[in-house]
């Protein structure tokens, strides 16, 4: 059974007048002032709505120590990667293509990675964007008047069962509702029970349990309804049964461009709030070729690396859960020669790693000192991803280092990296090093792979 919970609208592909908007996420009314969420708010601006060629600019306010941040624009498949600008501000932009299908009546999903956790929060588009989706003519009013955040309103994004297995006597079912924060939520199962409390465990997430009795009709649970209300504002949603897996955090992002130098890393996160994902039924194809055997697959993630020639690549990822529910995600990215990876209007920026060559061994403790040379006073970002190896099995990659340093007056820079956990003692541990340098409107990138040697 599939139930649509969110309104949809035809994609906006008409030319729109210049506009801008911003919004603040509504906070839970009962939360104390000190409980500041990890993702606080987002602003959205555009020079021409979502018409082709328009630039959509995003700024996210969140915890300042995130190693990765991005925003997904509804169900369009567009993921906008954000860069940390300091003081908990993350910014990014997306130029609308003619093939894009952006619907401002849907929700944007912001994600940040902190340590080994990925945190998410959803936001509505500003009213000015939503008004255009409803067919209102473009307004020439000052953008600040359009950019005010809408008042808190009740909305349910998802309502599902977190438990796996059949609905049978004695089984405890765990219900979860994701929607607007600060409301009162309850569960009704017609013919079984009314008014089961769903407690708000964190802003916008409500949970409750029910143990199936012998006299309960299992089919009745398919008609369960959740109600979320605050005052006179009330909304209901039917239970989503057999929800398929969700594929998110695409790498590279849809439409992204990556340099041809080094090994290209293709990855995605798989989640299923019902039945667990079956890794043996995950399939990865690159330009139609099945590369599943060369990928590292867990119930939560897929990782694949390969040396790719310049060109366009299409990725198709299919996942099934233990209940047989299937989902498929497709996206494309471009591999470009190094000189095309420089910033807009800029030429080649010199960048050389002087401390290591590609596939070089590192010491038995896994300590790294990344050194190199670029132009004087350039900004250099050093990122390191670590993958431990036990026997023939490779673990899940971990982001272990992400720091920005400044080259000195001679263009020399360095960054000291220490391994995380016990991987620093395991021979064969691999370190994917990515160094990006920028100066003015020029940029350059170098990627190398290092391998930990025997002690």
Q: Hey, where are the domains in the chain?
A: 19-146, 156-238, 246-339, 346-452
Element (H, E) at 133: helix 127-133
- Pairwise pLDDT comparison (4 vs 450), residue with the higher score: 450
pTM over 0.75: no
Instruction: Calculate ∠ Cα 314-316-318, nearest 5°.
Output: 175
DSSP assignment of 148-184, as one string? Answer: SPPPP---EEEEEE---S---TTPEEEEEEEE-SS-E
Q: What is the CATH number of domain 156-238?
A: 2.60.40
Q: Is the pLDDT of residue 16 over 50?
A: no
User: In percent, how much of the chain has pLDDT > 90?
Assistant: 13
Instruction: Output phi, psi for 202, to 5 deg.
Output: -155, 165
Contacts of 145 (CB under 8 A, 6+ apart): none
Phi and psi at 421, nearest 5°, equal: 70, -155
- Largest interatomic CA distance in the chain: 79
Topology agreement, domain 19-146 and domain 346-452? yes
Within 13 Å and on the Cβ side, how many CA atoms surround 73?
26
Distance CA 125, CA 23 (A): 7
What does the block give as tokens for 233?
């504002």
pLDDT at position 148, please?
Answer: 37
- Specify the pairing of strand 205-211 against strand 311-320: unpaired
**Which residues, 6 or more positions from 334, have their beta carbon under 8 angstroms from its beta carbon?**
256, 257, 258, 311, 312, 313
Of 38-47, 89-98, 410-419, 446-455, minimum mean pLDDT range: 446-455
19-146 topology per CATH: Immunoglobulin-like (2.60.40)
Summary mean pLDDT of the chain: 77
pLDDT of residue 277: 78
Architecture per CATH, domain 346-452, reads as Sandwich (2.60)
| Percent of the chain clearing pLDDT 70 (strictly above) | 75
Condensed to tens digits (0 to 9), the pLDDT of residues 60-72 reads 999 888 889 999 9
Query: What is the CATH topology of the domain spanning 246-339?
Result: Immunoglobulin-like (2.60.40)
Cα dihedral across residues 132, 134, 139, 143: positive or negative: negative
Cis check: omega of the bond before 252, within 30 degrees of 0: yes
CB 153 within 8 A of CB 71: no
The average pLDDT across 344-366 equals 72
**Distance between terminal CA atoms of the chain?**
56
Residue 121 pLDDT greater than 60, yes or no = yes
């Amino acid at each position: 059974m599939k139930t649509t919970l969110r309104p949809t609208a035809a994609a906006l592909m008409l030319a729109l007048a210049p506009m801008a908007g911003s919004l603040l996420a509504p906070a839970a009314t009962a939360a104390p002032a000190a409980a500041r969420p990890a993702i606080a708010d987002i602003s959205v601006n555009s020079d021409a709505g979502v018409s082709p060629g328009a630039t959509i600019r995003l700024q996210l306010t969140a915890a300042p120590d995130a190693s990765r941040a991005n925003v997904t624009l509804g169900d369009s498949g567009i993921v906008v990667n954000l860069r940390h600008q300091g003081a908990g501000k993350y910014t990014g932009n997306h130029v609308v293509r003619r093939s894009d299908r952006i619907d401002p009546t849907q929700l944007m999903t912001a994600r940040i990675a902190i340590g080994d956790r990925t945190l998410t929060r959803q936001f509505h588009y500003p009213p000015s964007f939503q008004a255009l989706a409803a067919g209102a003519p473009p307004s020439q009013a000052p953008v600040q008047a359009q950019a005010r955040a809408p008042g808190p309103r009740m909305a349910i994004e998802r309502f599902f069962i977190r438990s796996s297995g059949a609905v049978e006597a004695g089984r405890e079912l765990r219900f979860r509702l994701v929607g607007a924060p600060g409301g009162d939520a309850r569960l009704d199962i017609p013919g079984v029970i009314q008014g089961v409390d769903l407690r708000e465990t964190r802003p916008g997430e409500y949970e409750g349990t029910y143990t199936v009795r012998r006299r309960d009709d299992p089919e009745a649970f398919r008609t369960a309804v959740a109600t979320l209300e605050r005052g006179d504002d009330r909304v209901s949603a039917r239970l989503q049964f057999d929800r398929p897996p969700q594929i998110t955090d695409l790498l590279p992002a849809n439409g992204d461009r990556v340099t041809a130098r080094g090994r290209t890393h293709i990855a995605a996160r798989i989640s299923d709030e019902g039945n667990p994902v079956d890794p043996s039924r995950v399939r990865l194809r690159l330009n139609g070729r099945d590369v599943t055997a060369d990928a590292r697959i867990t119930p939560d993630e897929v990782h694949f690396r390969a040396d790719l020639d310049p060109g366009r690549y299409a990725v198709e990822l299919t996942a099934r859960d233990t209940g047989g529910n299937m989902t498929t995600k497709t996206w494309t990215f471009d591999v470009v020669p190094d000189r095309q990876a420089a910033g807009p209007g800029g030429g080649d920026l010199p960048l050389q790693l002087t401390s290591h060559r590609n596939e070089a061994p590192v010491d038995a403790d896994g300590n790294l000192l990344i050194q190199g040379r670029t132009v004087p006073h350039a900004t250099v970002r050093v990122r390191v991803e670590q993958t431990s190896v036990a026997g023939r099995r490779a673990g899940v990659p971990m982001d272990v280092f992400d720091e920005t340093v400044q080259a000195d007056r001679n263009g020399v820079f360095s960054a000291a990296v220490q391994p995380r956990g016990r991987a620093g003692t395991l021979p064969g541990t691999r370190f994917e090093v990515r160094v990006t340098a920028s100066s003015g409107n020029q940029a350059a990138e170098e990627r190398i792979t290092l391998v930990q040697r025997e002690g």
